[in-house]
Chain A
Amino acid sequence: MQFMLLFSRQGKLRLQKWYVPLCDKEKKKITRELVQTVLARKPKMCSFLEWRDLKIVYKRYASLYFCCAIEDQDNELITLEIIHRYVELLDKYFGSVCELDIIFNFEKAYFILDEFLLGGEAQETSKKNVLKAIEQADLLQEEAETPRSVLEEIGLT
C-alpha cells in the first residue's frame, strides 16, 4: 500500500498515512486531487479507480471516506477488506465509532493503524491481538498519567 487517507464528505482530511516518501507539496497535491475525484463519484459506482499509475480503493462509512492507494498487481478486494477491518478495529476501540471520535482522538486512530498496518503491509490481522497491543500501551499511559495529573491538578490547575 502506498498511502491511506481518511476524509470527510466535505473534503476535510481526517487522517493521512504515507508509506512512500514524498515531499509535502506532492502529498498536498495528491490529497487535493484524490479528494476531488473520489467525492465526484456516484454512490453506485465501483470502489476502484485508476489514478496515475496507481489503483485507488475507497469506501465510504457514514460521513467518512477511507481511501487507499495500491499498486497495480495488488488485490483490490482484499484492500477493501483491510479498510473494513480497520473500521471494525476503530469501532471496537471507541465503541461505535463516529467521525468525531476520529477528529478528537486522531492520535489514537493512528496508533491503531500502526498496530494493524506497518510499512504499508498488514502486520496483524487478528482483531484481538491488535486491540490487546493498544490496550497494553493505553494501560501504561493511564498508570503513568494518574500520579502526574494528580500532582498537576494540585500545583497547576
Chain B
Amino acid sequence: MSDVVEKTLTALPGLFDSQTGAAKITNRLRQLVKSITELTSKHEEENLIKQELCAMKEQVSSPNTSMKQMREIMVRAMYCEMLGYDASFTYIHAIKLAQQGGVLEKRVGYLAVSLFLNEGHELLLLLVNTVLKDLQSTNLIEACMALTVVAQVFPKDMIPAVLPLVEDKLSHPKEIIRRKAVLALYKFYLIAPNQVQHIHGKFRKALSDRDPGVMASSLHIYLQLIRESPDSYKDLTGSFVTILKQVLGGKLPVDFNYHSVPAPWLQIQLLRILSLLGKEDQSTSELMYEVLDESLRRAEMNHNITYAILYECVKAVYTIHPKVELLEKAARCIGNFVLSPKINLKYLGLKALTYVVQHDAKLALQHQMTIIECLDHSDFTIKRETLELLFRITNAQNVTVIVEKMLDFLRGCNDEHTIIHLVGKVSELAEKFAPDNSWFIQTMNCVFSIGGDLLQQDVPNNFLRLLAEGSESKEEDDQLRLYAVESYLTVLKGHTSHLPQCFLQVMSWVLGEYAHLQGSVDRREVIRLLTQLLDQRSVSSETRVWILSALTKIPEGQTDLILDLAERLASSQDTVLRQQAQELQHLSQDSQLHEWVLPRGAPWDAIEVDSSLSFLDGFVSEALAAGAAPYKPPHQRQEELCEDRALNLEPYSFSLPVSLSSCSITDRQSPTLLSVSSGLSGNSTELSQKAGSSTLILEGVKRVWGKDGYLPQKEATAPLVDEPSAAVQPPVQQEAAERTEPRPELSTRNQDKQQLASSLFVGLGVGSSVSLLGKSEAPPPRFRKKPRPHESSSSSGTSEKSSDSSCRSSHNTTDSFLYGSFLEEEPATSKSAFDHTPKSTTANGLSQNKDTKEDKHTNTSQIFGGDMVIVRPSTIQDKHPPSESSDLTALLPADLKDLPHSDVISLTSDPSLSLSSCRLFRDEALLLLIFISNCTETVIKDIAVQLTCEELKTASLRGNIVDCLEARSTSVCHYALLMDDPHTNVSFTGTVSYQTQPGHTNTLPFSGTLSTADFIRPLVLTTEEYGKLWLSLSHDVKQNLKLLTDAGDPLRTTLNALKDALQLHVVDIIGSEGIVACRLLSSAPCLLHCRVSGAALVMWLRSPHPALPDCILYHCQRALAHR
C-alpha cells in the first residue's frame, strides 16, 4: 500500500480534529480507509469490503437508521463503488436521501445519485418529483443542487417534465442559478435538440447577460449550434468579436484572470466560434481579422495558458478566409511551438502543422529537421503525431520512405487502435501513390501481416477488388497479379503458422484465381503449399474454406493430388469442409463441368450467379405439392419465435447461425462479384463476430514475420522517382539484387538525417505545393490506371477535364460495397444531384401513382408511345452562351422542363465542342441529356453522338444527329435509359463526331457514370398492400446499418436521410420500425423493413429481383456514410 498514505496516517487524528464537523461524518469512512490501508493482499480487502457492505445492507434496511447515518453510509457506499465493488443496494437509498433529507443529506444524496446512476438507469424515474420540488424551492442551495443533477444525469424522456422550470430559471435574479440553468439547457440540447428549439431566443438573452459567467456558459450552446449550422448565426459575429475585444482589453473582473491572462477559457471558446463562422466566408472573416491579430499579439507571455490561446488562434487563422499577414504571423507562432524544448508544446506544434499543411505544404519544409527528430522521439505520442503529419504530405515521390517509416512504427506498436488506424492509412497511401507493382504488393503484404485480423474488412476487400477488376490494360493487370502470385508463393514456402487468417485468405484467393498466370511454377507445388496450410492447426475453419475454394479452381490435370485431399477431408468433422471436398472431387474428375462452373479467365463481371437458386424451383414446388411447409429464412423464423414471447429485448440478428463458410461455398467467386459480396455483407454481423473471436485467439501472437523474412528490406536512401509500370522482375532475382546492393555507409548521424529529410520532403518544393493541397483535390492517378484514350488530346482544357473523369473512374473501381474513405472524394455533383430530386419526384410519384397501380404496363407503354410520337427531326437550338453550364438547364425541352433533374456536369470538351450532361428522372426511365455546345465562331456540321453502355438499354433517343450547329449555340440530345438488371454503378462511354470543315471529321470521346440511385423511384402503396407484397417476394437480404443518432428521432432521421438520397417512399413508421418501398424504374419493387436495434438500424430488404436488394443496400450504406 502507499507509503505516503501510511506515513500520513499517523498524523491523522490531528488532521481531523481541526475539522470537527466533517470528521464526524467521515469517522466511519476513516476507519474503513484505515483498515484497508493496513491490509496486505487484495483478497483480504475483498473480504473486508464484503463485511462492510453486509453491515451497510443491514443498516439501510433498518427503520431506525437516521438520515444522518444514512448520509454516512452513502459516503462509504460511494467509496466502495470507487474501489470497484458493487453497492447497488444503496442506489434506491441515495434517491431517498435526496428526497427526504435536509439540505445537507440532500447534497450527499444527489452526489451519490449522479455517481451511481447514469442516464439510462430506470431508478432515475423516481427522482423526477424530488427534482421538481427542489427546482421550485426558494432555498438557493436546493435549487442549485437540483440544477446540477439535472445537468448531469437526466434522461431524455424526463426532460419535458422539468424543462419549463429550468427555462424559468434563465431569468432568476441570482447569476449562479442562471448559469446552471444555461448549462442544463446545453445538456438538454445535446441529448434532445428538438425539445429546446423554442428557447433559442432566450439563449441570445443569456449571451448578453450582465454576468460574465452566464455569458461564458451560453457560449457552449452557441459553439454547438454554430458547428451544426454556421449560416444561421452569422449575424452574431459582431457580438462575438466585441466580446473577445473586451476580454482582451481586460474589461472583465480580475478574478476571471488566470495567471494574469484574462479569462482564457472564454477566449478559446470565442476563437473556436469565430473560426467556425469565418470558414469559407470572406465577408465574415474580414470582421475578425483585427481581433485575431490582437489576440496573436497579446499572447506573448511564456506560459502554457498563452500557448493554449495561441494554438486556438493559429487554427482559427488557418480555418477562416486567408489573410496573408495573419497567416505569416500564425506560421511564426507554429515555429515557436515546434521548436520549443517543452514536449507538450512540441506535440501541439506538430498537431498544428498537421492541420496547416493541408493549406500550405511549404510549412512542413521549414521544420523538416525537427520533424525528423520527432520521428525518432522516444515518446510514442510524438512519434504517432509525426506520422500523421507525414501522411498528410505524402506524394508519389516520397511515398516509399513515408510508408516505410509507418511500417517501422507499426512493427514496434502493440496498441490495437493505433494499428488499425495506421494500417488503414498505409493501405490508402499504397493504393494512391504506389510507384510500381512490386512495391505495392510488398507493402500490402506488410499491411496484411501487421494489421492481421484487426484489419477492417474493407482493406482486404478493396485489395482483392483492385486485383480482380484491374485497369483497362490487361497486360498491366496480369503483371500485377503475377507479381502477387509469385510473392505469395515465396511467403507460403516460409514459416506460415503465425500468419494472420486474413492474409492467408487473401493469398489463397489470389493463388486460386491467378496461379495459372505463372507458367514456370509447378501447379503441384501450388497445390502442395495450399494443402499444407489446411493441415495447420492455427488455420481457422473460415480460412480453410477459402483455401479449398482456391484449390477447386486450380486442379487441371492434378487429379491425383486433389483426390487424395478430397478423400482425406471426406472424413472431416466440419460438415462444410466435407461438402467442399465432395464438390472438389466431382469437379476434378469432370473437366467439362469444371470449365462450366468455373470458367477460366472470364471477366469478373461476366459471371452470373444465380443466388436465387432458381434451378431448385422444380424441386421446391414438388415438395410443396407433397405437403411440405413453405421455407422461411432463419431470421424470419427467429422473429416469429420472438413475437411469440412477450418480451423481445434482444436483437434477433445476432443469434443467426448462418455461417460465412456456407456462403462462400455457393458463391465461390465471392470477393470479385459485387452482388455476391454484398450477399456476404448481408451476414456482416456474423462476419464481425467471427473476426472478433479470431482476434481474441490471435492476441499475443508475435508478429515477427515480415521484418526480415521473405520481404527484402527496402532501405530508402534516395528519393524514388515516380516511374509508372516498372518492369517486374522475377522475385528471386529481385530479392537477390536487393540483398547484394550495398547499403550506403553514412559517416555521421546528421548526414543520415539530411538524407532522410531530402527523401521525406521531396516534392514539397514551392512549385509543387499546389498539388500537395492533397486531400481537398483529386489524388493523382494511381499507377495502375491506364490513361483514357482521349487523355492524350493536346488541348489544355481537355486534359484538365479528362484527368477529372479518369479520376472519377478510379473511384468506381476502388469503391467497394464497404464504403471506404474514397467516397469522400466522390465528385460532389452526384450528391447535389440527389438533393434536387426527391420532392418533385415524390409528388410525381403520388400523382401518377393511381393509374400506375391500375395498370402499370399500359401506362408505361403509353408514355413510351408518346415519346415515339414526339420524335422530331429537328433539334432544339438556342442562342445561349455555352460557358455557363448552369444555364444549360434552360435549354431543356419544354416537355421535360418540369421533371426533376440533376445538376449539369461537364463531360469533356475540345476547342470546338464542349459536352455537358444532365440527368432527368422520369418515372419509367432515366433521361440522360447531352448538351453539345459549339464554342467556335463558325458553324459545325454533321454532328453525331454515339453512346454505348452495356448494362443499360436505350429505350429512345432523339437529337443524336445534328446537321448543322450554329456558332455559339447549343443543341440537346437525349437518351431514355432503362436498367433491367441493377448494377451499383454503370459507366457509359461515347463519341461525338463532327465536321468543322467539309470532309474533315473529328471525334471527341466522352464518358461518365450513373448509379442505381438514378434509377430508383418511390413506390407508393399502403401498409396493407405492403404487407401483401412483402409475403410474395422471395429474395431477401438483411443487414445492420448505421443509425443516425444526432437528432431526436433516430429512425425518422435515418429514413428521411435515405429518402432524400434514394427517392424511397416511406410507407409507415410504427414505433421503432419503419417500412419503406421503392422500385427500379417502373419494374421490380423493393421493400425495405427497418427496425431500430440498439445503435444500429436492422434493414431487411425484399425484392423479386435477386440483385436489387444488394444494390439498394449499398446505396443506403453510402447515403448514411455521407452524413
Contact = CB atoms under 8 A, between A and B. Distances in A.
Interface in B626-666: none
B220 A121 contact: yes
Interface string B870-908: 000000000000000000000000000000000000000
A51 B344 contact: no
Given A106-B82, A118-B151, A124 B213 contact: yes
B40 to A, nearest CB: 13
Nearest to A108: B22
B186 A121 contact: yes
A9 interface: yes
Given A46-B379, A46-B382, A144-B102, A137 B308 contact: no
B255 A124 contact: no
A148 B108 CA distance: 17
B68 interface: yes
B766 interface: no
Nearest to B121: A21
A20 B531 CA distance: 51
Contact of A125 (B5, B84, B265, B348): B265
A48 B381 contact: yes
A53 B107 CA distance: 35
A110 B79 CA distance: 12
Interface in A57-105: 62-63, 75-78, 80-82, 85, 98-100, 103-105
Interface string B404-442: 000000000000011000000000000000000000000
A145 B21 contact: yes
A49 B311 CA distance: 18
Contact of A10 (B1, B22, B119): B1
A76 B343 CA distance: 13
A154 interface: no
* Candidate in A45, A46, A48, A141 with the most chain B CB atoms within 10 angstroms: A46
Nearest to A117: B183
Contact of A63 (B2, B22, B111, B176): B2
A137 to B, nearest CB: 5
A81 B78 contact: no
B589 to A, nearest CB: 53
Nearest to A110: B111
Nearest to B221: A121
Given A28-B84, A105-B26, A133-B144, A141 B255 contact: no
Contact of B216 (A63, A108, A125): A125
A136 B308 contact: no
A76 B342 CA distance: 14
Nearest to A104: B26
A69 B104 CA distance: 31
Contacts of A118: 148, 151-152, 180, 183
B141 A136 contact: yes
A62 B21 CA distance: 27
B21 A46 contact: no
Nearest to A85: B258
A83 to B, nearest CB: 11
B176 A133 contact: yes
A41 to B, nearest CB: 8
A133 B184 CA distance: 17
Interface in A1-48: 8-10, 12-19, 21-24, 28, 42, 44-48
B256 A144 contact: no
A100 B5 contact: yes
A100 B14 CA distance: 13
Contact of A148 (B22, B68, B111, B263): B68
B307 A104 contact: no
Contacts of B176: 124, 129, 133
Contacts of B108: 107
A128 to B, nearest CB: 4
A7 to B, nearest CB: 10
Given A50-B384, A107-B111, A77 B348 contact: yes
A104 B187 CA distance: 31
B417 A52 contact: yes
B213 A126 contact: yes
Most buried by A among B120, B220, B312: B220
A51 B111 CA distance: 29
A125 B258 contact: yes
Interface in B67-92: 68, 75, 78-79, 82-84, 86
Interface string B88-128: 00000000000000111001100100110011100000000
B767 interface: no
A45 B2 contact: no
Contact of B2 (A8, A51, A149): A8
A145 B67 CA distance: 12
A59 B878 CA distance: 71
A59 to B, nearest CB: 10
A123 B21 contact: no
Interface string A131-146: 0010011001110110
A46 B343 CA distance: 5
Nearest to A126: B255
B343 A45 contact: yes
Contact of B183 (A10, A52, A62, A123): A123
Contacts of B381: 45-46, 48-50
Contacts of A28: 84
B357 interface: no
A48 B351 CA distance: 12
A141 to B, nearest CB: 4
Nearest to B34: A104
B621 interface: no
Given A46-B346, A75-B312, A111-B111, A140 B141 contact: yes
Contacts of A52: 417
Contacts of A144: 102-104
Interface in B296-354: 304-305, 307-308, 311-312, 343-344, 346-348, 351
Contacts of A99: 2, 4-5, 8
A118 B118 CA distance: 15
A75 B255 contact: no
Interface in B1-33: 1-2, 4-5, 8-9, 12, 15-16, 21-22, 24, 26, 29-30, 33
A99 B33 CA distance: 13
A111 B256 contact: no
A105 B148 CA distance: 20
Contacts of A12: 2, 83
Contact of A105 (B22, B263, B418): B22
A21 B118 CA distance: 5
B300 to A, nearest CB: 16
B253 interface: yes
Nearest to A51: B417
A50 B415 CA distance: 10
Nearest to A63: B4
- Return the 9 tightest CB-CB contacts between A and B, nearest first: A77-B308, A21-B118, A46-B343, A21-B119, A128-B255, A78-B308, A141-B104, A126-B255, A119-B187
Given A129-B176, A140-B103, 15 more contacts: A16-B115, A46-B344, A46-B347, A50-B384, A51-B417, A75-B311, A78-B312, A81-B308, A99-B5, A100-B9, A100-B12, A103-B5, A119-B190, A133-B176, A137-B141
Interface of A: 8-10, 12-19, 21-24, 28, 42, 44-53, 62-63, 75-78, 80-82, 85, 98-100, 103-108, 110-111, 114, 118-119, 121-129, 133, 136-137, 140-142, 144-145, 148-149, 152
Interface of B: 1-2, 4-5, 8-9, 12, 15-16, 21-22, 24, 26, 29-30, 33, 68, 75, 78-79, 82-84, 86, 102-104, 107-108, 111, 114-115, 118-120, 140-141, 144, 148, 151-152, 176, 179-180, 183-184, 186-187, 190, 213, 216-217, 220, 253, 255-256, 258, 263-266, 268, 304-305, 307-308, 311-312, 343-344, 346-348, 351, 378-379, 381-382, 384-385, 417-418
8 contacts: A45-B343, A48-B344, A76-B348, A100-B15, A123-B213, A133-B176, A141-B103, A141-B104
